[in-house]
Structure 1
Amino acid sequence: MLKGIPKIISPELLKVLAEMGHSDEIVLADGNFPAVSHAQRLVRCDGHGVPELLDAILQLFPLDQYVEKPAALMQVMPGDPAETPIWGEYKAIITRRSGLEEPFEEVERFAFYERAKKAYAIVATGESAIYANLILKKGVIS
């Protein structure tokens, strides 16, 4: 145990976050995401949802302040009537933790998959919301 580290952050996830450098990306993947087949480094966080992991990660992890949109969402497929209320949760968490009001870009589904393959790591969660995948770009600590 360490002081100041949220309990939801496993030693493996803490190591990955510490290893990442400026502009490296990490994917917080929902339970439907093909994390194992896409990951260079896979961190399992089964049983946890993305919002609570996002909140904990942003206590330790600076978002990239040199890009317009340091977070990316998987765009809803055209014609899919899916609702994405979880995006509002993400926005509230990011705004509270970083001050950013408009942090997101939306990335087409297959482009998101390709970007995820290049990410430093993918965190596989138990999140059951659809279109709940999120990419974060790491910034610098000033």
Structure 2
Amino acid sequence: MLNHKLIHPEINAILGRAGHHSTILIADGNYPAASKRGPRAELVSLNLMPGVVTCTQVLEAILSAVPIEAIHTMMYETEGPYALKGDPEVWESYRQTLKAAGSSLKLEPIEKWKFYDAVVTPDHVLTVQTADQQRYANVLLHIGVRM
């Protein structure tokens, strides 16, 4: 019997094989998960219907299962049709989820196109595709070590 919140068997298996510096992408419903992932990354689709499940829900589950040493968000655009005037609301949800998990990690935004580059590396082991409809909800987690 698992003692953490994450009970998805395939995600648990992938995380069990992952190690230090491996990365996990929690992708929103707009992310091109089929084409923007590492060469060995596995894709798990949890996009049941719009808004179910969310990136925040997946983050909560993964934080309960593995140590995370860094968390990167996709920096929002400040000009153009997808521009935002400030941090996406979902980022505050991430901050609250990190705090509730006992983590002192801070969100580290990466410019949009560099974020894609950071995902498509050999260290990328898992993409969890959600149906989150919030813009700039993508989050890249870096697995740490057990202390």
Q: State the TM-score bracket (shorter-chain normalisation).
A: 0.7 to 0.9
Indicate conservation of the 8 Å contact 2:78/2:85, yes or no.
no
Q: Which residue of 2 aligns with 1:4?
A: 3
Deviations 1:77-124 (A, max 9, x none): 132136611100001111221331x52111011111111112222111
Q: Does 1:98 align with 2:102?
A: yes
Runs of 4+ in 1 over 3 A off after TM superposition: none
Indicate conservation of the 8 Å contact 1:49/1:127, yes or no.
yes
In the superposition, the TM-score normalised over structure 2's length comes to 0.84
Paired residue secondary structure (1:36): coil
Paired residue secondary structure (1:113): helix
CA–CA separation in structure 1 for the residues paired with 2:140 and 2:42: 14
- AA at the equivalent of 1:137: H
CA–CA separation in structure 1 for the residues paired with 2:140 and 2:103: 18
CA-atom RMSD in angstroms: 1.6
In structure 1, the gaps of 5 or more residues are: 65-69
Q: How do 1:39-78 and structure 2 match up within 5 A?
A: 39=37, 40-47=41-48, 48-64=53-69, 70-78=70-78
- Sequence identity, in percent? 27
Deviation at 1:9, TM superposition (A): 3.6
In the superposition, the TM-score normalised over structure 1's length comes to 0.86
CA distance 1:45–1:9, change in 2 (3 Å) = farther
CA–CA separation in structure 2 for the residues paired with 1:106 and 1:12: 28
Q: Which residue of 1 aligns with 2:16?
A: 18
In structure 2, the gaps of 5 or more residues are: none
Q: Which has the higher helix share?
A: 1
- AA at the equivalent of 1:105: E
